[in-house]
Structure 1
Amino acid sequence: MNISLTGRHVELTEPIKAYMNTSINTLSKYNMDIISVNLIASSQTKKGKPLSVVEFVINLAHKNSIVIKQSDQDLYAAIDLAAERAQKAMRRIHDKENTHHKDGINEAKNEAFKSVDLHEADEAMEDEIIPVELTLYKPREVEDVLNDLKDSNKMFEIFLDNENKTRVLYKRSDGRFGLY
């Protein structure tokens, strides 16, 4: 990565250069192919007040350049704000690259069919069916079902009685219960 530090109407002292280099080095954590970083610090006067302006130009391989311009009354604050905005831009590009992989539906189907043999799957499904008796279908007394229905908010209950007949106990609109 090539680093270029430039001062326009500003003298770049060693502490300022070191601070600029550390802010540039924070950009390397996104593992992007940075070709060069140009940092230009300048001084302007706006409405009678002196301002420090910092401009980052980051050239990335196979991507557009990132240009960030930030101004503040303090040079160090302007460097911090510009570095933060540069990190945010780099993070966006990094996240977009790493999370937006778009595989076509045909590629996904082909991958799925490679790992599954349809003939074996069909034979495996026809092998054996094991009937299971559920506890819901065990014979119950009408009184037990009536007590359960009173305690719940249900309108009806379907059950098997002691003679293995399917029965329905339901709440009527007059508050009483009916039994089929």
Structure 2
Amino acid sequence: MNLTISGHHLEVTPALREYVLTKLDRVTRHFDQVVDINVLLTVEKQKEKERRQRAEVTLHVKGRDIFVEQSHEDLYAAIDQLMDKLDRQVCRHKDRVQDHGHEAVKRMQVPAT
């Protein structure tokens, strides 16, 4: 799994990097077939104070890219909300990928006795 954590108008500190890694553990625990993860942390230069810290994740799994973004006035809160969204999307993707088809009882072959 390739992991890239980058910042735009922001220096990614070791504490921030460790926080993102601990939050990503929850996602990779649910679905281990992740190929590539790109995390972008941004501070936007807006006049309004709320929602100027933004976090984005692009998660590449086999056959699909999952993109999630979240804005908040606190970057750690934005990361928390982002990982909640990402976790829901990964669980939904895993549910779609899994083979839920099973043979109906009335179609099963009964062994001849």
* Class of the TM-score when normalised by the shorter of the 2 chains: 0.7 to 0.9
Deviation readout 1:131-174 (Å, 9 max, x if unpaired): xxxxxxxxxxxxxxxxxxxxxxxxxxxxxxxxxxxxxxxxxxxx
Written as runs of structure 1 = structure 2, the 5 A alignment for 1:107-146 is 109=107, 112-113=108-109, 115-117=110-112, 120=113
Q: Which residue of 1 aligns with 2:61?
A: 60
Distance in 1 (CA, whole Å) between partners of 2:35 and 2:7 is 21
Partners of 2:74 and 2:31 in 1: CA distance: 30
* Aligned-partner SS, 2:76: helix
Distance apart, 1:47 and its partner CA: 4.3
Q: Distance in 2 between matches of 1:6 and 1:36?
A: 14
Q: CA deviation at 1:28?
A: 1.2
Aligned with 1:65: secondary structure? strand
TM-score (norm 1): 0.56
| Structure 1 residue 95 displacement after superposition | 2.2
How far 1:103 moved relative to its partner?
A: 4.8
Instruction: Assess if the C-alpha contact under 8 Å between 1:37 and 1:57 holds in 2.
Output: yes
Query: Which AA in structure 2 matches 1:96?
Result: R
Q: Matched residue pairs, number?
A: 111
Q: CA contact under 8 A between 1:32 and 1:94: conserved in structure 2?
A: no
Code of the residue aligned with 2:88 in structure 1: it is: K
Deviations 1:19-59 (A, max 9, x none): 01111122111133100111000011344326110001000
2:31–2:90: 8 Å Cα contact kept in structure 1? no
Measured on the aligned residues, the alpha-carbon RMSD in Å equals 2.0
| Uncovered stretches (5+) of structure 2, i.e. residues with no partner | none
Percent identity between the two aligned chains: 23
Given that 1:24 and 1:37 are in contact with CA atoms closer than 8 Å, whether structure 2 keeps it comes out as no
What is residue 12 of structure 2 aligned with on the other side?
12
Gaps of 5+ in 1: 121-180
State the TM-score, normalized to the length of structure 2: 0.86
Determine if the alignment matches structure 1 residue 102 to structure 2 residue 101.
Answer: yes
Inter-partner Cα distance in structure 2 for 1:37 and 1:55? 10
C-alpha distance in structure 2 between counterparts of 1:9 and 1:116, whole Å? 69
**Distance (whole Å) between structure 2 residues aligned to residue 46 and residue 102 of structure 1:** 50
Structure with bigger RCO (C-alpha 8 Å, 6+ apart): 2
What corresponds to 1:139 in structure 2?
A: none
CA contact (8 A) 1:32 1:60 kept: no
Could you say which residue in structure 1 is the equivalent of 2:24? 24
